[in-house]
Amino acid sequence: MQEKMDTDKPLRDYAVIGDCHGHALVAANGDIDWCCLERHDQDPVFCCLLDQGRGGTLRLTPQGVVAQERHYLKGTNILVTRLSTTTGVVELLDFMPVGRRLGNGPHDYVNLVVPGWLARRVRVVEGEVSLDLLYQPSIAFAAVPVKLFAKDGGIGGEGVPTLFCSHPLTVAGGDKVTATIRLLADERLDLILAVRYTISESPVSLLDQMEATTRAFWLEWSAYNRYRGPYQAAVERSALSLKLMTFATTGAIVAALTTSLPEEIGGTRNWDYRYSWLRDSCFALYALASLGYSGEAERYVDYLSRCVRLTLPDIRIMYGIQYERFLPEVTLDHLEGYARSRPVRRGNAAYSQRQIDVYGQVLDLAVLYESLGGKLAEQDRRVLRTFVDVALQQWQEPDCGLWEMRDEPKQHVHGKMMSWVALDRALRLFGPNPAWEEARDTIADRILSQGTDADGALLQSFGSTSADAATLLAPALGFPLTKASLDATLKRVEAELADGAFLKRYATNDGVEGDEGAFLICSFWWVDALLAAGRGEEAKALFETLLGCANDVGLYAEEYDIESKSFLGNMPQAFTHLALIGSAVNLELFERDGAAAVAGCYADRAKRAVGATFGPWGMLASLRQSGTFHRLSSSKASIMLWP
């Protein structure tokens, strides 16, 4: 019988660690309640986050805790948690080993390790501390029983990782290991959780080398962040979070690292975001490109091309991180859900939806990539022409929209704007084409005649009487909206959807029961739209309010509950972090050259942002010239660590 462990922790209590393959969420008290060791989208080793009673966890809990604080080591995804107790102070250092290939010696640690390791180092800073250890892994979201036994000097079992500890542990069978360990001042304890290993000695003996290499990897990557504005700490943390959400094997980027964290406590809006949405990934790459990174874009272009070739002539809005085409949505009814919010879902039915904005999104990314010095292969250009063809065929069709509504498809204005983007960027990529030019201009005319109100404000869909926060993207896309229409759109969105600094996505029925919180990405879009309208002081004040909504280590979830100031939805959420980066860069551009500096498309702004550092040679050319591109952004060095 599984006992009830405790109540659900607030979502803002969680920090994240990872190795660009898998990840783990670590609570403020040090509990590891969610962990996918080898792939972001696999069944978790620990899913206590979704069921406190049966989900499984790794805990090393000091007795008599009276205070806790934590931080990331600067420029890294290595987490330090300091816990003060009635008898002493203990520090936990958590990371997932990651590093580039550095030599071929027989004892070179990177040749001994594969993805799927989690490390915890414990040091008593003062006094003495007793710690209660609990290792309780899960299989198949805790649907399959676990039996642990002594294995290779540690404790493991069939289908679960092995726990290695510098302190001797024993197991008498069953699904968990418990122990109480007493440490004096300056004494240390090391733990490693490993899925696969090929060494005769205990992996614990490699921890010094693992820690040093992991720290070096993250510091090297962070060093090439070219942002030097006033919000450097927040931008760096968001960039590191996005990097952690990449999947090194393919170059995919996941939308979030969790599934089924509710958009309303007790509600049913609980979705699995551990897949690669083309739209979300393109937004993430815009953000990273504006900071001076390029390797992620190169890898993602290759990933995207491979995915699309598998489904042509159909083009999906999302794919699995290992090129999976089918992501069927199932409910896991044996789990009670975070804060009793059911159902828990694995997979996402949105993979089969039609969302016509995605074609423009990818073509926009291609323009960005080439404008900064990248060169698309001929097969990639052929795939992009297919995107243009599909955009031409479908722009007049209703769709489910970027918000993935589950009611009847509509003629969404945002989707039409992205169809305009598809044709506009096609002309930039492939040169003049009268048919494309005519279609682009027709789409713009249709939006302005059927998708606006009497004042020129953009609406949610043709014939609608309601606003949609996604229309705030119009100036960021370079869509030909007049100053008067932009002002009217801002006024309408603010009147219908705003509550202080926060925006709802929309106020219309979407086919799903229940409510949701404010979408944080929408507030960052609001910042950008205010800048485009020349309202710089308002934009800056709004941005700084949003910065204050992060948790204590700078992370964000998808949504925000205004009344309780709590997080809602999956976390960390790529959408929120990429939008923060974009707004920070836009604020710096605006400060330098006013509203004109944030005009145009993403490629235009990225070139302006990167050009401030690299000059007229362009980002990729400068990186290649300096050798940085080869070291950090080649096909494997930047995000591949072990084969």
Instruction: State pLDDT tens for residues 439-457.
Output: 999 999 999 999 999 999 9
Calculate the average pLDDT of the chain.
91
Burial of residue 336 (CB within 10 Å: 0-12, 13-18, 19+) is: middle
As a whole number of angstroms, the distance between CA 444 and CA 440 comes to 6
Q: Cβ–Cβ contacts within 10 Å for residue 212, how many?
A: 12
Task: Provide the pLDDT for residue 451.
Answer: 98
Higher pLDDT, 313 or 338: 338
- Residue 637, domain member (yes or no): no
Task: Provide the pLDDT for residue 464.
Answer: 96
- Residue 480, domain member (yes or no): yes
Pair of tokens at residue 147: 């039996």
- Three-class SS state of 228: coil
Instruction: State pLDDT tens for residues 138-149.
Output: 999 999 999 999
- Residue 636, domain member (yes or no): no
Angle between helices 434-450 and 413-430 (to 10 degrees): 160
Instruction: State pLDDT tens for residues 255-282.
Output: 999 999 999 999 999 999 999 999 999 9
Does residue 170 share a domain with residue 225?
A: no
Task: Provide the pLDDT for residue 107.
Answer: 41
Burial of residue 183 (CB within 10 Å: 0-12, 13-18, 19+) is: buried
Task: Provide the pLDDT for residue 114.
Answer: 63
| Percentage of the chain modeled with pLDDT above 70 | 91
Q: What is the dihedral of CA 389, 394, 399, 401, to 10 degrees?
A: 40
Of the listed ranges 225-229, 380-384, 603-607, 622-626, the least confidently predicted one is: 622-626
- Nearest 5 degrees, angle CA 220-CA 225-CA 230? 130
- Look at residues 91, 98, 102 and name the one whose alpha carbon lies nearest to residue 222: 98
Does residue 232 share a domain with residue 166?
A: no
* Domain boundary residue, one of 163, 198, 233: 198
Phi first, then psi, for residue 389 (nearest 5°) are -60, -45
Structurally, the chain folds into a number of domains equal to: 2
Higher pLDDT, 28 or 174: 28
As a whole number of angstroms, the distance between CA 177 and CA 243 comes to 33
Does residue 246 share a domain with residue 371?
A: yes
Q: HSE, CB side, 13 Å, CA atoms: give it for residue 619.
A: 31
Does residue 267 share a domain with residue 176?
A: no
Pair of tokens at residue 319: 């794919």
Higher pLDDT, 374 or 129: 129
Does residue 415 share a domain with residue 481?
A: yes
As a whole number of angstroms, the distance between CA 225 and CA 74 comes to 13
Does residue 170 share a domain with residue 228?
A: no
Please give the residue range of the domain that contains residue 19. Answer: 11-198
Residue 635 has pLDDT above 60, yes or no: no
* Domain boundary residue, one of 166, 198, 230: 198
Average pLDDT over residues 192-203: 81
- Residue 643, domain member (yes or no): no
Does residue 100 share a domain with residue 234?
A: no
- Residue 92, domain member (yes or no): yes
Instruction: State pLDDT tens for residues 508-520.
Output: 999 999 999 999 9
* Domain boundary residue, one of 129, 164, 198: 198
Task: Provide the pLDDT for residue 630.
Answer: 30
Decide if 508 contacts 460 (C-beta within 8 A).
yes
- Residue 330, domain member (yes or no): yes
Does residue 283 share a domain with residue 345?
A: yes
Task: Provide the pLDDT for residue 633.
Answer: 33
| Percentage of the chain modeled with pLDDT above 90 | 83
As a whole number of angstroms, the distance between CA 407 and CA 328 comes to 19
Residue 10 has pLDDT above 70, yes or no: yes
Does residue 534 share a domain with residue 611?
A: yes
Task: Provide the pLDDT for residue 343.
Answer: 97
Residue 109 has pLDDT above 70, yes or no: no
Task: Provide the pLDDT for residue 619.
Answer: 42
Does residue 420 share a domain with residue 568?
A: yes
Does residue 268 share a domain with residue 145?
A: no
Residue 59 has pLDDT above 60, yes or no: yes
Does residue 537 share a domain with residue 497?
A: yes
Task: Provide the pLDDT for residue 301.
Answer: 87
- Residue 208, domain member (yes or no): no
- Look at residues 453, 451, 331, 473 and name the one whose alpha carbon lies nearest to residue 402: 473
Find the DSSP H helices in 567-635.
574-593, 602-614, 619-626, 628-633
Give the CATH number for residue 146. Answer: 2.70.98.40
Give the CATH number for residue 613. Answer: 1.50.10.10
- Residue 249, domain member (yes or no): yes
Burial of residue 603 (CB within 10 Å: 0-12, 13-18, 19+) is: buried
As a whole number of angstroms, the distance between CA 59 and CA 33 comes to 8
Task: Provide the pLDDT for residue 604.
Answer: 95
Task: Provide the pLDDT for residue 199.
Answer: 64
